[in-house]
Structure 1
Amino acid sequence: MKTFETRGPVNAARNYVVKRTAELADFVARVKQGRYIVIFAPRQTGKTTFFQWALDALAAEGITYFLIQLDFEAYKNLTVSVFYGELYHDIREQIEKIFQKRGHVPSEALHQYLQGAQVTDHLSMLRFFTGLANLLSPQRVVIIIDEFDGIPESAVSDFLYSLRRIYLSGVDARCPYSLGIVGVKSITQLNYDRSISPFNIQDEFALPNFTLEQVQELLGQYTDAVGQPFAPEVIKALHTQTAGQPFLVNRFAQILTEELNILKTETIAMSQFSEAHTRLLRERNVNIQHLITNIRRNPRFETLLMGIVSRDRGVDFNLDNEFISELATYGILAEGTDGMCEVVNPIYQYRIMKAFQPLI
């Protein structure tokens, strides 16, 4: 039986999923246009799952695209030369896996090229990609980099300048043809020396929280499979309390369908919603742990957040303010309809107030 997933990427064969059809079509269209796409969003928002679906959709196009998926999570403390060496080995490993998955054998020229290549800095990376483009032509190389925040600080600027140079070289000869950068921090926040961002060719892509309709669709999949309905007011309240945050939506549904021992013949009602809500407000799940860690990163956050949640004063939602920008990046603050800062959902607001509540 399918379940609501909260521990990592979802699998449509095992989990109830929000398909994000419109967002997926938009992303694939941008890849086909050769865009260099960045998506920076908080953890537990479905980024990794979304990009895996995007790769699957592009793979269904046949061999037009050569899809390479990378992960920078383990790179953070590497020196520049070691970083580029590991990057090369990861790319080579991915190329070999793709040929194996297709049931093909790399050409002798490609095999020899991969064996002899050395990537030790951004310039040798440029040369490596140029040679790779020639050997994989007419296929177009698409690279998705997950956990981009893990790139070593000393490598960020030159790495991004090199990608910009590739992008501006012309669409026909470009390798990678299209690029997806996935992370939590934005390019500006990764630009540690505060210079003008070298990656001004980026195409920003938003992966929003679930809409009410998407939450209805998600819970409807459970009802169709099990026969147990949710009262309409439960679905609406669930969306209101979570604001569609994917982890919180799935965790709410998990508690209601797996942990409260509600008879499957019963409609899930507001009384049970209240019980699940109380549990979610009190438990220490991984999403809440990230929230608490992030709001304690800087002492200034407490003053700012408590001023917002206590409604003592309105605070303009100004992304040029580094504290507001960082809290927005972590998925804690958003712009309200009045242009002021607001905490993104009532559950986070409650946990923020509890976290900063004096003991006495």
Structure 2
Amino acid sequence: MRFFNTAGPVNPKDHYCLPPLKRFDLDSVLLLIQQKKYFVLHAPRQTGKTSALIALMKYLNAQGEYRCVYINVEAGQAAREDVTAAMQAIRGELTIRARMILNDHFVDEIWDEAFQHSGPFGVFGEVLARWSAREPKPLVLLIDEIDALVGDTLLAVLRQLRAGYVWRPEGFPQSVILCGVRDVRDYRIHSLQSQSIITGGSAFNVRAESLRLGDFLQTEVEALLQQHTEATGQRFTPDAVAQIWTLTQGQPWLVNALGYETCFRHRSGRDRTQAVNIAAVEAAKEALILRRETHLDQLADKLQEPRVQRVIEPVLMGTGQPESLLVDDLDYVRDLGLIRYDGSLRIANPIYREVVPRQLVYSTEATIAQETVWYVSTETGRLDMVKLLTSFQAFFRQHSEHWVERFQYKEAGPQLLLQAFLQRIVNSGGRIEREYGLGRMRTDLLVIWPYDSGEQRVVIELKVLHYDLEQTVTAGIEQTWAYIDHSGADEGHLVIFDRTPGKAWEDKLFQRQETFHGHTIRVWGM
């Protein structure tokens, strides 16, 4: 039985998958190898890099023109800057893979002698040189998780590859592919030995090209889901397929995770006579977020890094423009897969867009003393949003300085605090959809609350007061109405946070109603 894979490389016998060699331009890769180039393949975590490398290795060995070996050097990370210990870890990996893939014991036979001769800073290069010269068939080396190595260990590997480059292919690998999250050119490597920062581009200046493995296309998402239908007879409804694409934007792990959650993890989804519908997809998304799956948790952990905060915080606030951010920071956060730039800078997909603020306020949401039942009408089952926002207004006045100070992302604190407050209430039956991005000057929230007679949809737009209150209200009302119209909501609220230092709360707090294109929009000052 095949299934959707969410851990490790794909195996077509076990997993639904796209052909790994079609994830990149194979002809271009083969040309680079033929031209004896050393190059980089990079992409965010869990996008299929390892699967692609292993498939390439099998292809090259089947063609018979090269000897190709794949190694994963992540074990060397535990040695940190102890180059001797790291080289022992790399030795173990290279020895095992050479024996397993090529039935070749030569690496293990010569390593000790090479170490005695060249030491920890030269043994890797000497072994590769002697191994390459041993047979006329050129050697191709695929090194995965290269960016797991740290400091002087990483420098030692890169510099030995660079030093041997001139002797390829008779005396060094014909081609080397370095694979990781980032392009090696962008590494900033701290050398403990020299007490300096060295760029990857300097340590490995023989890099010819950098290839990036992209997300799935929409047609590829559809093809992957169709494999399940063909194997089991269980179909995805058209709106479920569209929603999986919308939520993931083709991020490979997310696509597979939603597929597995809907078809294998949920008991109801195992009934192959029942089609997977959009409600099942939404439930699966929420389950992934609430379980804090490793993929999402690792991504959220990156939010603590200052260079990530410098990009994500203005995106959360909707302030600034891309040109105001450091290029290195933007490149780094993009390489992590957190953002995309398609005319405006925004979080890469709706699931990440929900994970980011929820992760930042996770402990806050858990400790806010609010109960859903306080705000649900006993007569209609609908949320009383006026009562809820009135309560938040009082809560914000009393607690905002204390709570916001606890946030790492203090500039986005008011927006995050309101989202934590709302999430605490809505968690028991509804959901919140979020729209935010650099330069939007607002955050749009859509609260969706099911009740017996239908589905309540409420727009809440968040803005920070800049300069003139009436201008902010006028612009905000028009934007709120536009989001109401776009989302099909039946209620709209505009929340304006006034962060003017020293201003009295009596001058900040207000409620009033405005009408725009026949819609009543309640405006809240905080």
Mapping for residues 138-153 of structure 1, pairs under 5 Å: 138-153=136-151
Give the secondary-structure state (helix, strand or coil) at the position aligned to 2:292: coil
Q: Over aligned residue pairs, what C-alpha RMSD do you find?
A: 2.7
Does the 8 Å CA contact 1:82/1:120 hold for their aligned counterparts?
Answer: no
1:75 aligns with 2:76: yes
Residue 354 (str. 1) matches residue 358 (str. 2): yes
Q: Report what 2:206 is aligned to.
A: 201
Moved more, 190-199 or 342-351: 190-199
Greater share of strand: 2
Higher mean C-alpha deviation, range 346-355 or range 254-263: 254-263
* Partners of 2:305 and 2:109 in 1: CA distance: 48
> Structure 1 residue 134 and structure 2 residue 136: aligned?
no
Instruction: Tell me the residue number matched to 1:33.
Output: 35
Q: 1:165-314 maps to which residues of 2 (within 5 A)?
A: 165-169=163-167, 171-187=168-184, 188-192=186-190, 193-195=197-199, 197-202=202-207, 203-260=209-266, 261-262=268-269, 263-298=271-306, 301-302=308-309, 304-314=311-321
- The whole-number CA distance in structure 2 between the counterparts of 1:183 and 1:309 is 28
Partners of 1:149 and 1:184 within 8 A in 2: yes
Counterpart Cα distance in 2 of 1:111 and 1:165: 22
Q: 1:38 and 1:253, CA in 2 relative to 1: closer, same or farther beyond 3 A?
A: same
| Superposed displacement of residue 331, structure 1 | 1.1
Distance of aligned partners of 1:123 and 1:272 in 2 relative to their CA distance in 1, 3 Å threshold: closer
**In 2: Cα distance, 1:238 partner to 1:84 partner:** 43
Distance 1:310 1:68 in 2: 47
- Unpaired stretches in structure 2, ≥5 consecutive residues: 191-196, 361-415, 422-526
Q: Which structure 1 residue ranges, 4+ long, deviate > 6 Å from structure 2?
A: none
Q: Post-superposition shift, 1:231?
A: 1.9
In the alignment, the residues of structure 1 paired with residue 301 and residue 331 of structure 2 have an alpha-carbon distance, to the nearest angstrom, of 16
For 1:164 and 1:213, how far apart are their aligned partners in 2?
40
Shift of 1:190: 4.2
Alpha carbons of structure 1 residues 139 and 341: separation in structure 2 relative to 1, 3 Å: same
Displacement of 1:78 in angstroms is 5.0
Q: d(CA) in 1 for partners of 2:275 and 2:324?
A: 41
Between 307-316 and 252-261, report the one with greater CA deviation: 307-316
Is there any run of 5+ residues in structure 1 with no aligned partner, and where? Answer: none
How far does the alpha carbon of each residue in 1:32-84 deviate from its partner, in whole angstroms, 9 at most, with x for none?
A: 3322121222211111111111111112112x322222222121225223333
Q: Partners of 2:258 and 2:341 in 1: how far apart?
A: 25
Deviates more, 1:73-82 or 1:221-230: 73-82
Report deviation, 1:208: 0.4
Give the direction of change, closer, same or farther, for the CA distance of 1:252–1:94 in structure 2 (3 Å limit): closer
Of structures 1 and 2, the one with the larger relative CO (CA 8 A, separation 6+) is 1
Q: Does residue 335 of structure 1 match 2:337?
A: no
Q: Percent identity at matched positions? A: 22
Decide whether aligned partners of structure 1 residues 317 and 226 sit closer, same or farther in structure 2, where only a CA change above 3 A counts.
farther
Does structure 1 conserve the Cα–Cα contact (< 8 Å) formed by 2:114 and 2:127?
yes
SS class of match (1:197) = helix
Query: TM (normalized to structure 1)?
Result: 0.86
Change beyond 3 A, Cα 1:218–1:317: farther
Please identify, of 89-98 and 207-216, the stretch whose mean Cα deviation from structure 2 is larger.
89-98
Q: 2:260 is matched by which residue type in structure 1?
A: Q
> In the alignment, does 2:96 pair up with 1:65?
no
- Residue 205 of structure 1 aligns to a residue whose secondary structure is strand
In the alignment, residue 140 of structure 1 is paired with which amino acid?
P
C-alpha separation between the residues in 1 aligned to 2:238 and 2:171? 51
